[in-house]
Amino acid sequence: MDWLGKVNWGEDGLVPAIAQEASTKRVLTLAWMNRESLARTAATGEAHYWSRSRGRLWRKGEQSGHVQRVLEIRLDCDEDVVLLSVEQAGGIACHTGRHSCFFQKLENERWVTVEPVLRDPKEIYGR
């Protein structure tokens, strides 16, 4: 598919993908995509990423149920960053049980946690 070829995949075959919540416009997370994950995301309407730590394709929410329904896919000017507009199932994008992964805020040269855990990760993932 030609549209996949237009993406400037990195040397490792990946590009960063930002997930932004459609309703709140909050930036939820940044994950990585390879060609297959972007193709599956477009085909299924659900966010698929490439897990660098596990070295495998990963359907967001496959374990947690916190899937991301994708409303829109955008590409940046350099064609090396993807932006997804999503609906976040369960209102939890982060593996820590928080709404967004960006819960640490810089205040006076310290990172301060400014968002609550909405659900205990032990409940989400089991023990």
CB-based contacts of 8: which residues, under 8 Å, 6+ apart?
15, 78, 79, 80
* Rounded Cα gap, residues 83 and 72, in angstroms: 8
Let me know: does 56 contact 32? Beta carbons within 8 Å: no
DSSP string over 106-125: EETTEEEE-S--SS-HHHHH
Q: DSSP alpha helices (H): ranges in 1-127?
A: 2-5, 35-44, 121-125
Residue 113: CB minimum distance to a copy of itself, A: 10
Residue 103: CB minimum distance to a copy of itself, A: 7
Among 36, 62, 72, 123, binds a copy of itself (CB under 8 A): 72
Among 57, 83, 117, 118, binds a copy of itself (CB under 8 A): 83
Is residue 73 part of the contact set for a copy of itself (CB under 8 A)? yes
Residue 114: CB minimum distance to a copy of itself, A: 8
Binding interface with a copy of itself (CB under 8 A): 1-3, 6, 16, 18, 20, 25-27, 29-30, 42, 72-79, 81, 83, 94-96, 98, 101-106, 109-111
